[in-house]
Amino acid sequence: MSSRKNMSGRITLWALTAAAVLCACAWGQTVDPLSPPASARPPQLQHVGIEQRLNQQIPPGLEFRDEAGKPVHLGQYFGKGPLILNFVYFHCPMLCGQVLQGLTGALRAIGYSAGRDFTVLTVSFDPHETPEMAAAKKKMVLATYGRPEAEQGWHFLTGDAAAVAALTKAAGFQYQYNAENDQFAHPTAILTLTPEGKVAQYYYGIDYAPRDLRLGLVQASNGQIGTLTDEALLYCYRYDPQTGKYSAIISRVLRISGAVWLAMVGAFLVVMFRTEPKYRAQGRAR
């Protein structure tokens, strides 16, 4: 009798796990509207936007300075797992802080950790900013993030005008300086990079869905991180470069739903056929 209970318990646990994956596969998101074309923008925003450079190699030889003022080349961060790249300027009065806040909140929720599973590069596109400003911003952000290992895995970089221009061009990040108020008009987005430093995906706005960011890191990692559940979700979802989000592939969800249902029915029948002769023999004995 105990063996029958154990078998039933295993079937129940398997069914609940499959149902959880199916529920996650069926969960969708709304789609953000696309940004207007440059011709429809005001003059101060004519050169502001994101021009996607998917699969573009980020130049590994570009030199920046980290938050300690040490010269670094971007290539030294490659080869250690997937990366997140985002552009800010540290004296930004509003948007950059919201981008970092949204990114930090999403990273806290995904289960993987900067410095252990992936690397984050936060780069200032203002060539006049200093490592001291980068260090102050890093201290503030990491205090919110709350992961000790991120000290070695989340880097705040500054560089000269040539390095900044080369990096933002390779990433397709377009911004515009306004001398009247000493501020930059810029888009809000983050990028995921492959371990080799190639652009994998873009995520727009100031709030980033933890599920999308987790799947993006797993997909960009080329198998370096990820669980079986992540692989199942990636089978159910497809990244849409136009919206910067993952959306469900209905045909695959239905296919998995049918397969799981058949497997559950088959497992139930197997248990019933195996236990039926035993109960018939017990009945005859009585």
- Please report, in tens digits, the pLDDT of each residue of the chain (286 residues total): 444 444 444 333 333 333 333 333 333 333 333 455 555 556 666 679 999 999 999 999 999 999 999 999 999 999 999 999 999 999 999 899 999 999 999 999 999 999 999 999 999 999 999 999 999 999 999 999 999 999 999 999 999 999 999 999 999 999 999 888 889 999 999 999 999 999 999 999 999 999 999 999 999 998 888 887 777 766 776 677 777 777 765 444 344 444 454 456 455 555 656 665 665 656 666 5
Distance CA 9, CA 209 (A): 34
Q: Which CATH class is domain 38-248?
A: alpha beta
Distance CA 271, CA 135 (A): 62
pLDDT at position 31 is 32
Q: The tokens of 268 are what?
A: 């139930």
Distance CA 173, CA 203 (A): 12
Return the domain boundaries, the chain.
2-28+251-285, 38-248
pLDDT at position 277 is 61
pLDDT at position 33 is 39
Q: Residue 198, exposed/middle/buried by CB under 10 A (0-12, 13-18, 19+)?
A: middle
Amino acid, res. 109? A
pLDDT at position 120 is 98
Distance CA 231, CA 234 (A): 5
Distance CA 126, CA 92 (A): 10
Amino acid, res. 11? I
Nearest to 209 by CA among 231, 190, 229, 186: 190
Phi–psi pair at 203, nearest 5 degrees: -130, 125
The overall pTM is greater than 0.85: no
User: What DSSP element (H or E) covers 267?
Assistant: helix 250-285
Count of residues making up the chain = 286
